[in-house]
Structure 1
Amino acid sequence: MQLVHHSMVERGDDSETGTDAVSHEDVLATDVDLAQSILSQTRGLMFRRSFPDNSALVFLFDTAKIRDVHMLFVFFPIDAVWVVDDVVQRVERLRPWRSFAREECDLLIELPAGTADDVEAGDRLVLEGE
């Protein structure tokens, strides 16, 4: 399974429409870990000593509602992405031990810090190969 980022990228001026936008696709993670059990969802990234590049921890929920992310006992910074119906709602860089954030989502994704630098609200994030 992999996590794919879909975005629209403006290429500059087009004489007829003003701007020319094209769809852009990037694979953000190829090592996707699904937190499916209550225990794995509660533990998240706590107590792990590293979070390798190309990794993602994904929390998949049946319905969209406000979901929290805390960094207590997490030893490294991460990027957290809240998604509803494959559309990014919020992206936040969280610091070890101190950060806390919440947003509505039906898909919550935790990535190594810097991985989501090009991801913005309104972009699409899709799990492929489920």
Structure 2
Amino acid sequence: MRLVHYEAKGDDELASQTLASTVEFADTVLSRARGLMFRRSVPDDYALVFRFEKPGTRDLHMAFVPFAIDALWLVDDEVVQKKRLRPWVGLGRATADTIVELPAGAADDVEPGDVVHVEE
């Protein structure tokens, strides 16, 4: 499983890039509440994916996360917001049906309007 970024290049051409080859899902109440808290680090090719039934306002916090991350808020795989969250104090909020947390710098080439998709 991998997380792939599709960037429009014009004339309906898409360029793809693998953002993460190690994908973990936060799919229980406990795993969603914990997120990346209490971890010391994550691998460079890692993504934590939160999926929800429908789009809604989704908040992220960095309490007890001692490293920066890139966060992506998606609706139907389209990036609606990207934000770098600082260790311990970072906060983010946007509408999403999926949130992706990546190591800081992993989403540097991702922009709102791009597509990010988990592929089996």
Task: State the TM bucket, normalised to the shorter chain.
Answer: over 0.9
Instruction: Point out the structure with max Rg over C-alpha.
Output: 1
Identical-pair percentage = 51
Of the candidates 52, 57, 65, which is equivalent to residue 66 of structure 1? Answer: 57
Q: Which amino acid aligns with 2:9?
A: V
Q: Residues of 1 paired with 2:104 and 2:60: CA distance?
A: 14
Structure 2 length as normaliser, TM-score?
Answer: 0.97
Q: Residues of 1 paired with 2:98 and 2:92: CA distance?
A: 15
Q: Which amino acid aligns with 1:67?
A: R
Question: What is the match of residue 109 of structure 1?
Answer: 100
Residues 55-76 of structure 1, C-alpha deviation per residue, up to 9 Å, x if partnerless?
0000011110000000010010
Gaps of 5+ in 1: 11-19
Structure 1 length as normaliser, TM-score?
Answer: 0.89
Of the candidates 43, 46, 55, which is equivalent to residue 52 of structure 1? Answer: 43
Compute the displacement of 1:21 (Å): 6.6
Gaps of 5+ in 2: none
Is 1:122–2:116 an aligned residue pair? no
> Cα RMSD over matched residues?
1.1
Q: State the 4+ residue runs in structure 1 displaced beyond 4 angstroms.
A: none
Residues 61-104 of structure 1, C-alpha deviation per residue, up to 9 Å, x if partnerless?
11100000000100100000000001000000000011111000
Q: Which amino acid aligns with 2:105?
A: G
Q: Residues of 2 paired with 1:9 and 1:117: CA distance?
A: 16
Of the candidates 11, 14, 25, which is equivalent to residue 23 of structure 1? Answer: 14
